[in-house]
Structure 1
Amino acid sequence: MPGFRTGTAWRDVPERYGTWATLHTRFRRWAADGTVDRMLRTAQAEADTAGDIDWLVSVDSTVVRAHRHAAGARKRGSAPRPSAGPEAA
């Protein structure tokens, strides 16, 4: 099951939708069997057909965190590798 995260606690869902435990169980079941994905694709297709979606994508890299090794930091005990580029003067 993909990791869904909204930042909202299940216990904060309005009571008119049922108990939070029932909603949580139903959501997990629907996410596992693909129902959530199908509902999202259907809603997107309908909105796209109606012209309600602007498919411009923007990524704000200021919120993307990378592990220090992904940034090129040396690992403990490893010696720097010589560059294949021209020597700096």
Structure 2
Amino acid sequence: MVVMLGRAVAVSPCCMLFSRSSLQIEVRHQHILFWGGLRGALALALAMGLPPGLPRREEIITVCFAVVAFSIFVQGATMTPLLRRLGVV
């Protein structure tokens, strides 16, 4: 949930920057940017690259893996229905 909130906080202000220009991002595309923020290999590689003696290293890797798994299995699997519902596909 915190990851999704962070994604919303990242996407919304960026889209607002372009709201009065020719580069304006449609609301439906903003939803796609929010939901389609698939996370993966880079985050997991960074977590696994932490020094072995680092306190709570295993917990960091576990949480990172959970976020990546949710992103791939839930967000990835529901991206096509979202695109259809928004009329993009």
**Same topology, TM > 0.5:** no
Pick 1 or 2: higher relative contact order, CA cutoff 8 A, min separation 6. Answer: 2
TM norm structure 1: 0.28
Q: TM-score, normalised by structure 2?
A: 0.28
Bigger Cα Rg: 1
Higher helix share: 2
